[in-house]
Amino acid sequence: MDTSYSSALLIITFVSGLFLCIIGNSAVVQATEVSGVISSDTTWTKENSPYCLVDDLTVAYGVTLTIVPDVTVVFTETVPSTDWVGRPTTITISHDLHVYGNLVANGNTFSTDSTIISFSETSTSSKIENTEFNGYFKINMSCSSPEIRNNIFSSATFTIVEGSPIIHSNSFESLDVYEIFLTIDGGSAIVSNNTINDDAAAKVLIYLDGENTAAISDNYFSGQFGFSEVVIASGSPLFERNFISNHNTEYWPINAVGFTIYGDSSPIIRSNTIANNKIGVNIYDANGSSFVTLTGNNFEQNSQYNIYLGEEGVYGTTAPDIDATNNWWGTTDKSIIAQSIFDHKNNHNLGTVTFNPILASHNPSAMPNASSNSTLPASVSSEDPVSSPNIPTETQQLVPQEWLYATIAALTIIVIVLSTALVYLCKKQRASQD
């Protein structure tokens, strides 16, 4: 074999091997392992992503953890174990994040099996935006007011105790929780422009208690809820311009209620579309519910009753008189409207629902419409992504992505050139032999 031919073949073999080695190594990315207490301002960078919790992590009081865009945070850890007969296996452990200072995250991916993210009363400026939450996250807010904006959740629950958090323009893809999705106990939470789709399932979507003045507006809430979509036990919350639909066929016709109102509550329910429930609004054993404001709503396609006073199936429950004037009932026929209301005429222990005067047509402010061609309100744009200085951390990717792509491109060109040279040498060798 010609010496030049052998040299070219050797070079190509070496370069190809190096090329494959780099490609193989590029798939192996070292995680930055984190745990314990973050005691000084810290930034997690794209170059050191992913960050993997190997134990619970705490952001200390007065400290800010900033997570810049395109960083992945993994809240689970896979560790060696043994099965019930002693054979080697692995188990996955989820770790929690406790925020006493502040968490500022934008444009990230959070992954877990089941993780708690908690914000304490000393967390004054926390914000999570434009982040994809994969797995089940339980987010607890105690006397704190974080902003949760423009995120995508696969499954989550929220617990708010006092404080004024903002939960805005989030999408919940396939909500599936056993009890309550959102609990609000006191405070003045703002819940707006969120979307919960038809696959959502829970016992209750939103439960309001305590002396809350929550403002819940412009949300699309549709799903299959075992008891009621919204339960108001106390407080003076505002529900405005929401789509409320509970079409739980599994429990039909026992439950599948839109609003359930009882106890010492005085909510304002105006300009909502309350559609495709078995019962639109259920009011019973209400001490303060004679102060319910129920106006400007569109009641549409509720299968049994638009309004039901008293607790269904429970003897002796009571309900006060209710003013439900100036709503749209899907018709202007007052006899049909009366039939869609269960009150004093059906049970003398109950108060009377006054519904006249009525709206003569659908209220266009109560969006979105229940019709199939309705559109959701446009999401509000978030602020610009947070920019932060890069702070070195312990471990990095084996090959930075920018250099990796440039190296692969260069090696590809070299391989092509050498291959062309090899073909030329082979042809030249055959010609000399001829």
Closest CA to 274 of 298, 249, 248, 304: 298
Query: How far is residue 283's CA from residue 262's CA, in Å, rounded to a whole number?
Result: 6
Query: How far is residue 192's CA from residue 176's CA, in Å, rounded to a whole number?
Result: 20
Query: How far is residue 262's CA from residue 241's CA, in Å, rounded to a whole number?
Result: 22
Query: How far is residue 431's CA from residue 214's CA, in Å, rounded to a whole number?
Result: 88
Q: Which amino acid would we find at residue 336?
A: I
Closest CA to 250 of 201, 309, 210: 201
Joined together, the tokens standing for residue 390 give 């890069």
Distance between first and last Cα of the chain: 15
| Residues 57-96: b if buried by 16+ CB within 10 A, e if exposed | bbbeeebbbbbbeebbbbbbbeeeeeeeeeeeeeeeebbb
Q: List the alpha helices (DSSP H) in 117-215.
A: none
pLDDT value for 398: 35
pLDDT value for 251: 55
Rounded to 10°, the helix 3-26/401-433 angle is 160
pLDDT at residue 372 tops 50: no
What is the arithmetic mean of pLDDT over 263-289? Answer: 88
What is the arithmetic mean of pLDDT over 400-420? Answer: 58
Report yes or no: 245 and 258 within 8 Å, Cβ to Cβ.
yes
pLDDT value for 277: 92
pLDDT at residue 21 tops 50: no
Joined together, the tokens standing for residue 2 give 């010609």
Return the higher-pLDDT residue of 175 and 117: 117
What are 417-429's pLDDT values in tens digits? 666 666 566 566 6
Report yes or no: 60 and 407 within 8 Å, Cβ to Cβ.
no
pLDDT at residue 25 tops 50: no
Question: Which range is least confidently modeled, 1-15, 74-88, 163-177, 221-235?
Answer: 1-15
How much is the mean pLDDT over the chain?
A: 82
pLDDT at residue 307 tops 60: yes
Highest-pLDDT range among 14-18, 213-217, 289-293, 345-349: 213-217
β-bridge pairing 88-94 and 76-82: antiparallel
pLDDT value for 316: 80
DSSP state of 50: P
Query: How far is residue 195's CA from residue 208's CA, in Å, rounded to a whole number?
Result: 19
pLDDT value for 335: 96
What are 197-226's pLDDT values in tens digits? 766 777 899 999 999 999 999 999 998 888
What is the arithmetic mean of pLDDT over 47-57? Answer: 97
β-bridge pairing 215-217 and 238-240: parallel
How sure is the predictor about 242, in pLDDT bands with cuts at 50, 70 and 90? very high
pLDDT value for 407: 57
pLDDT at residue 364 tops 60: yes
Question: Which range is least confidently modeled, 24-28, 201-205, 311-315, 407-411?
Answer: 24-28
pLDDT value for 432: 63
Burial class of 132 by CB neighbour count within 10 A (0 to 12, 13 to 18, 19+): middle
pLDDT value for 403: 46
Return the higher-pLDDT residue of 165 and 13: 165
Report yes or no: 65 and 86 within 8 Å, Cβ to Cβ.
no
What is the arithmetic mean of pLDDT over 399-408? Answer: 49
What is the arithmetic mean of pLDDT over 60-85? Answer: 92
Burial class of 162 by CB neighbour count within 10 A (0 to 12, 13 to 18, 19+): buried
User: Domain boundaries in the chain?
Assistant: 3-24+398-433, 31-354
pLDDT at residue 282 tops 90: yes
pTM, full prediction: 0.78
Highest-pLDDT range among 71-75, 406-410, 426-430: 71-75
CA quadruple 315, 295, 279, 246: dihedral sign: negative
DSSP state of 254: T
How sure is the predictor about 401, in pLDDT bands with cuts at 50, 70 and 90? very low
pLDDT value for 81: 80
Inter-CA distances, 135 with 58, 138, 159, 378, Å: 21, 10, 17, 26
What are 312-325's pLDDT values in tens digits? 777 788 898 999 99
What are 162-186's pLDDT values in tens digits? 999 999 999 987 666 668 899 999 9
Closest CA to 78 of 53, 99, 102, 60: 53
What is the arithmetic mean of pLDDT over 83-109? Answer: 91
pLDDT value for 68: 98
pLDDT value for 158: 95
pLDDT value for 321: 92
